[in-house]
């Protein structure tokens, strides 16, 4: 976790706290599941399944409504990670509802098919868990501070190179700061420039990066200017 990793320029120390939080959430869900299982086995609180027409109408209506929400969230997901999570939630609800309808119908129509509904439920549960695992992994990378794509780094370097003829780019770092990027630049300016000249040129570059001249959104940009030196 403390080793240098080009994918995580600022390290992965925050991953430990996120891991503890995730384990706490999992344990809370497991505790509730164990309690529900105990009530069912010890006290015989087994729910009665109603596989009548009302169930099909309710699930069908809910699935249609979720489909509309999915279309809306997919149209807006480029603007917010919240829309990505909502779109995934709607997709999972649609798939689970369709699986529930199929499992209930098969259980009703197939003689001795009592096992079909539980098998369908387990299959769709595994699929949903896998989908959410991938989304959680991507969000954890953003929270920990995964580095920006190489293409974006090159775009920032090109922006800095074109900013001023007397400016030389030394180091460019960009990594996730939540859903957006934090950009750090170290540039070299002529040693005989005044502090005001160096400050004005560097600050103008910082404002260019913040205005979104690059392809991705930047939440914060920082620059450090130094006089001309021999870097060999």
Residue 105 three-state SS: helix
Q: Where is the domain boundary, 100, 120, 144? A: 144
Q: Where is the domain boundary, 105, 124, 144? A: 144
Give the CA radius of gyration of the chain: 27
Helices (H), the chain: 14-43, 53-76, 81-109, 116-144, 150-161, 195-210
How far is Cα 196 from Cα 86, in angstroms, rounded to an integer? 48
Q: Same structural domain for residues 83 and 163?
A: no
Residue 219 has pLDDT above 80, yes or no: no
**Residue 194 DSSP symbol:** -
Average pLDDT (206-225) is 67
Q: Same structural domain for residues 75 and 121?
A: yes
Q: Same structural domain for residues 134 and 201?
A: no
CATH code for position 192: 3.30.70.1350
Chain centre distance of CA 24: 20
Six-digit token string for 141: 């990378």
pTM of the model: 0.57
Closest CA to 83 of 95, 97, 71: 71
Q: Same structural domain for residues 165 and 111?
A: no
Q: Same structural domain for residues 187 and 208?
A: yes
Count of structural domains, the chain: 2
Backbone angles phi, psi at 221, to 5 degrees: -135, 140
DSSP code string of 7-71: TBTT-STHHHHHHHHHHHHHHHHHHHHHHHHHHHHHH--PPPP--SHHHHHHHHHHHHHHHHHHH
Does residue 106 belong to any structural domain of this protein? yes
Assign 227 a pLDDT band (cuts: 50, 70, 90). Answer: low
Within 8 A by CB and 6+ apart from 140, the residues are 15, 18
The residue segments making up the domain with residue 188 are 150-227
Write the pLDDT tens digit of every residue in 27-81. Answer: 777 777 777 666 666 666 555 566 778 888 888 899 999 999 999 988 887 777 6
Six-digit token string for 56: 């099909």
Q: Where is the domain boundary, 144, 175, 210? A: 144
Write the pLDDT tens digit of every residue in 99-153. Answer: 888 888 888 888 777 778 778 888 888 888 888 888 788 878 777 788 888 888 8
How far is Cα 97 from Cα 90, in angstroms, rounded to an integer? 10
Q: Same structural domain for residues 126 and 107?
A: yes
Write the pLDDT tens digit of every residue in 183-195. Answer: 888 888 888 888 8
Six-digit token string for 169: 């780019």
């Amino acid at each position: 976790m403390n080793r240098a990793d080009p994918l995580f320029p600022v390290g992965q120390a925050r991953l430990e706290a996120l891991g503890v939080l995730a384990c706490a959430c999992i344990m809370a869900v497991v505790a509730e599941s164990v309690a529900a299982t105990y009530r069912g086995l010890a006290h015989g609180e087994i729910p009665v399944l109603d596989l009548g027409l009302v169930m099909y109408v309710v699930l069908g209506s809910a699935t249609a409504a979720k489909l509309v929400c999915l279309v809306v969230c997919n149209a807006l997901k480029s603007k917010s990670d919240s829309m990505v999570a909502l779109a995934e939630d709607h997709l999972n609800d649609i798939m689970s509802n369709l699986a529930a309808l199929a499992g209930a119908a098969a259980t009703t129509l197939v003689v001795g098919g009592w096992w079909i509904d539980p098998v369908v439920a387990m299959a769709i549960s595994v699929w949903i868990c896998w989908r959410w695992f991938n989304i959680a992994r991507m969000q954890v990378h953003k929270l920990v501070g995964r580095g920006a794509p190489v293409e974006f780094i090159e775009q920032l370097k090109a922006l800095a190179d074109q900013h001023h003829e007397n400016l030389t780019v030394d180091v460019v770092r960009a990594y996730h700061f939540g859903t957006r990027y934090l950009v750090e630049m170290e540039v070299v300016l002529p040693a005989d420039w005044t502090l005001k000249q160096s400050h004005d040129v560097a600050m103008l570059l910082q404002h260019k990066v913040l205005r979104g001249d690059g392809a991705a959104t930047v939440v914060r940009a920082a620059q450090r200017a130094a006089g001309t030196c021999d870097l060999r």
